[in-house]
Amino acid sequence: MASVAESAPRFEKTAMSILVAVSFCHMLNDIMQSLLASLYPLFKANYNLDFVQIGLLTMTFQVTASLLQPLVGIVTDRWPMPYSLPVGMASTFCGLILLGNAGSFELLLVAASLIGFGSAVFHPESSRVARLASGGRHGFAQSFFQVGGNAGQAIGPLLAAFVVLPNGQHSVSWLSGIAMIGMLVLSWVGTWYMSHRRKNASKPAPSRTLPLSQSRVVWALLILVLLTATKNVYMASVSSYFTFYVIDRFQLDVQQAQLMLFLFMGSVAAGTFLGGPIGDRFGARFVIWFSILGVIPFALLLPYANLFWTGVLSVVIGLVFASAFSAIVVFAQELVPGRVGLIAGVFFGFAFGAGGLGAAFLGEFADTHGIAFVYRICSYLPLLGLFTIFLPRIPKHRAV
């Protein structure tokens, strides 16, 4: 019996077409979402916003997603909703239309909340689909799914720099066509998801037995939440204020600043993709260790670098830091088996929420102490990654 188990293949066939589809839609979703942060200089000029209001925009967008994602995850763990995916994309479509035509700061906040709601609906179910299509290669599937989002975050600033900024705020509405494409693709994904559920209806439900004692699981999840918060507050400080930082410190124009942001976002996409396969090979815990602790010296150096080294360090930080997120999600899913939607909702949602709260808090510091001061403070955040030492090892004999 043991020899049969040992000789069984480690991985099943991966449904690559589905992984490509959800990753592609993650890219579309995050292109549209990243436009909000990329257009902050435009909104700041058009509406005479201060940094606190910029932070409130980020907080409205991200906290909307944060508060709703765990709830969506809990509901869909119990009652899967394959066709909720195009519904979430429709909300983002409406948010973009409003973003392009808003006449006041209050309407910008409403548009941001609609885009946040789209994110809240999209992430838990699409993360579940990625895991179902993984064939057991959970790290690869999660990183492949996530890298679509990071690629979208990298492309968003380019669209802002070369489409929206030259043509004005109304041109944001043109990009709502991206959401329509996403709705079509996600309708097809929903059909596959429904068919997969029918084919596997006779199989027993996945075991929800915890691999460790409840107290150790709770402790490990709290550490993972802290690591996620640390990572995403830091990332929010870069994505929300990096353009202002390089403009203020190095006297770049807006398009040059957007290109600097693109370099960072592109490195985040590459780091995310590399983290998953490495996690499948060496374990999620190893990737978390390498990513969270490895970024510390580079983050500490960033506020004191010249323009060239700011670009280099931002790329290294993006590569190293971003590799952790897929590993954190996979590790948490292994800690709490059978609750894929909840874990995806908590960690994707908490990522948005922590980043949003951090952005609002940092915005006030930027107004009162200057943007350079914010980057000096943020450089110490990765030191909280030292809590990684307390992460437990998950027994290898657990059910996949």
Q: What digits encode the pLDDT tens for the residues 7-58? A: 334 445 668 899 999 999 999 988 888 777 778 888 888 888 888 888 888 7
As to burial, measured by CB atoms within 10 angstroms (0-12 exposed, 13-18 middle, 19+ buried), residue 349 is buried
- Rg of the chain in Å (alpha carbons): 20
As to burial, measured by CB atoms within 10 angstroms (0-12 exposed, 13-18 middle, 19+ buried), residue 212 is middle
Close Cβ partners of 204 (under 8 Å, ≥ 6 residues apart) = none
Return the structure tokens found at 288: 């978390």
> Rounded CA gap, 265 and 57, in Å?
20
Return the structure tokens found at 360: 């609002």
Task: Please report, to the nearest 10 degrees, the dihedral formed by the alpha carbons of residues 187, 191, 196, 199 taken in order.
Answer: 170
C-beta separation of 305 from 320 below 8 A: no
End-to-end CA distance of the chain: 18
Question: What is the mean pLDDT of the segment spanning 111-121?
Answer: 89
Question: What is the mean pLDDT of the segment spanning 275-283?
Answer: 81
Burial annotation 309-329 (CB, 10 A radius, 16+ → b, else e): ebbbbbbbbbbbbbbbbbbbb
Per-residue pLDDT tens over the stretch 343-360: 877 887 766 667 667 767
| Angle formed by the axes of helices 214-250 and 371-378, nearest 10° | 150
Per-residue pLDDT tens over the stretch 294-338: 899 999 999 899 999 999 999 999 889 888 888 888 888 888 887
Which one, of 228, 314, 239, 240, lies nearest residue 271 by Cα? 314
Can you give the pTM of this predicted structure?
0.70
| Domains in the chain: ranges and CATH | 15-390 (1.20.1250.20)
Determine the residue type at 58: T
Which one, of 288, 301, 184, 240, lies nearest residue 54 by Cα? 240
